[in-house]
Structure 1
Amino acid sequence: MQPKLADVAKLAGVSVTTVSRVINERGYLSAETKEKVFSAMQQLNYQPSLAARVLQGKQFKLVGLIFASLENPLIAQVVEEIENNLFSHGYKAIICNSMDNPEKEQQYLKMLMANQVDGIITGSHNEGIKEYKMSGLPIVSYDRYFQNKIPTVSSDNQAGGELAARTMLEKGSKKFMLVSGSLEKRTHSNSRITGFEAVAKDHKLPVNVVEFPFNATPTIRRATLREKLGAYQPDGVFCTDDQTALLCIQEAKKLGMRVPEDVQVIGYDGSNYVQEYHPELSTIVQPVSDIADLLVRILFNRLQKNEDQLLDNYVLPIKLLQRDSLRN
């Protein structure tokens, strides 16, 4: 049974009012009294009601983080850095993993509003969820389009796609394959494709595009990549995320294609995990620490209602990490 305020008061040998004053830091209380109350709370594993603290005028200092999938090493790193940044400023995070499910994202938004979060940072890509407009909360987006003037932070996706194409061209590739997630959703990351195709078009080179839905399993991705690589025989492949690029390298080798002699491969994201554990992959690196820092700083700007003029979009520079999947 959940312990109550009266249970804490009884064990501490003080009144319910005194326990409430200790919890809400109201008025003068001796160190001895506070110690008794805190000791009783610890023994009973009593957690003060957040709702009660709001009634007492206490701020939650909670921020909701909504992202599509924490399985992606890049997203996991972004969320971790945001959470650490928030914690250093005295805020705690409620992390919601929407799995790109609109209904799930909608339910999470309702939960965050019910829990009186101070603001939301979102990196999920579902459109038309009215709760974002209804919440009245400060919201900042990572790599996601919003129509209602919500600031967005992203890496320079267009430049990343262009850099991938130019690099493989300079190193001898002329027959391109591009592997991406679903193109149905309007995300900033789709600009990676636009940039890559623009460079290929300038050089009058065709691009074979392979598209995966968000929920495609690794098994499905492997089978599809094996089929497309075998049928098209590209000599340069750009994948719009690192996990798919790693699968591409594996399947190419199974088909007897040498990487990078026969086919060059470039991914996109450059998470710490990929850089440390997969030296075989060349990738376009996003500035994760800068992205996380900027998302939090913009959110705090909105929380404090500063008069600073915010942009609709903040675009941060990318860089190429060249390793074994590219020719020297």
Structure 2
Amino acid sequence: MFKIKPKISDVAKAAGVSPTTVSRVMNKRGYISEETRQKVYDAMKKLNYIPNDLARSLYNKRSNLIGLIVPTTANPFYGELTARIEHFCALAGLKVLLCNSLHNAEKEAHYWEMLRRNQVDGVIVCTYNRGLIDVSEQMPTVAFDHYLSSGIPVISSDNYAGGELAAATLIEAGCKNIVHINGPAELETPANLRRNGYEAVMQRYGLPAMTYEIRSILSQAEAEAAICALFDQQPQMDGVFASDDSIALKVIQEVRRRNKRVPEDVKVIGYDGTEFVRQHVPELTTIKQPMITMAETAVQILIQQIEQPEKALEKEYVHSIELVRGNSV
């Protein structure tokens, strides 16, 4: 037999206070003496009373739920980012509803509607779908490393400086034929600035800038085929700056498959520097994004939008990058 769940009136009776006082304690409304507050908490513990989050959210006009839309947590970058964002949300008393869109625009739109129906307080978006621009105006929104619209703040690393640093590092190591692997230029993302930084340094040194575009939505086999095609097209290539660590690792794999050596024949630099990659593939030289700081900023800016909607926000919050040296350069 299941026990009947205790009600607020039962807690009030056990604590010797009114139901209104119990409600005020749970919702942290109005002045309540510490003695009375403790009586209520003790009664709740004794009766094993669990507050109804839905009822409290209706009372406070806050659900304390945050939506997080990512392409896929299977990618080490988004997996770590999700963990960091969830950590900072938990510190702020917020729960996270995670949505893996798998690069599917229709699925993203479905998730957005689901989040809206669940009355989340705000959303952090890490996907490219510009179709979300209109719906994002319905609630506080922060974009992570993607431009959605002028009214939505973007959290990013200093992509331009990252592109400059990667190119300069390869040139200083003796590379003359450096290829940058990036996504399609038409995708309006801060990551395009990595290309701009790379090209500026190449021009400064009088070297040809070669950017090899690959689609962002690739299966494992498609990505490997794209990298293989790059080596066929650029046999003289002696340096590669990949737009993320996953692509950089596939480049290293292809170098070795062709019986060449890293870094003697081809030097490789990635971008992201996730904890997973640094622990499991320490030989990869990469541009590290400050994941913890960026996740914390995303949560802070979203909370600011929720609690102070009238306060002006910056269009973009840019964080410094750093070079993490392995032995791939």
State the TM bucket, normalised to the shorter chain. Answer: 0.7 to 0.9
Shift of 1:49: 7.2
Tell whether the 8 Å contact from 2:184 to 2:214 is kept in structure 1 after alignment: yes
1:38 to 30, 48, 57: 48
Cα pair 2:11 2:40 within 8 Å, conserved: no
Deviation at 1:67, TM superposition (A): 1.3
Give 1:4's aligned residue.
Answer: none
1:208 partner amino acid: M
Alignment correspondent of 2:173: 171
Give distance in 2, aligned partners of 1:230 and 1:115. Answer: 50
Once residues 182 and 236 of structure 1 are traced to their aligned partners in structure 2, the CA distance between those partners, rounded to angstroms, is 20
CA shift, 1:26, in A, is 2.7
Offset of residue 65 of structure 1: 0.8
Normalization by structure 2: what TM-score? 0.84
Letter in 1 for 2:321: I
Q: Give 1:209's aligned residue.
A: 211
What is aligned with 2:226? 224
- Large movers: runs of 4+ above 6 Å: 14-17, 19-22, 27-33
Is residue 2:81 matched to residue 1:78?
yes
Shift of 1:16: 9.5
SS at match of 1:247: helix
Query: Residues 256-307 of structure 1, C-alpha deviation per residue, up to 9 Å, x if partnerless?
Result: 2211111110000000011111012100000011101111111121122176
Q: Cα–Cα, structure 1 residues 31 and 306, in superposed 2: closer, same or farther, change >3 Å?
A: closer
- In the alignment, which of 291, 295, 300 is matched to residue 297 of structure 1? 300
Tell me by how many angstroms 1:222 deviates. Answer: 1.6
Does the alignment pair 1:139 with 2:131? Answer: no
Indicate the RMSD between aligned Cα atoms, in angstroms: 2.8
CA distance in 2, matches of 1:207, 1:215: 24
Q: Quick one: percent identity of the two aligned structures?
A: 36
Q: Do residues 26 (structure 1) and 26 (structure 2) align?
A: no
Q: Does 1:67 align with 2:64?
A: no
Q: Which amino acid in structure 2 is aligned with residue 26 of structure 1?
A: S
TM-score by length of 1: 0.84
Alpha-carbon separation, structure 2, partners of 1:260 and 1:304:
51
Q: Secondary structure of the equivalent of 1:150?
A: coil
Letter in 2 for 1:274: V
Deviates more, 1:197-206 or 1:81-90: 197-206
Partner of 1:26, secondary structure, is helix
Alpha-carbon separation, structure 1, partners of 2:221 and 2:188: 26
User: Match of 2:196, SS?
Assistant: helix
SS of 1:121's equivalent in the other structure is: strand
Rounded Cα–Cα distance in structure 1 between residues aligned with 2:294 and 2:311: 19
53-62 vs 25-34, which moves further: 25-34
Give the gaps of 5 or more residues in structure 2.
13-17, 25-35
- 1:96 partner amino acid: C
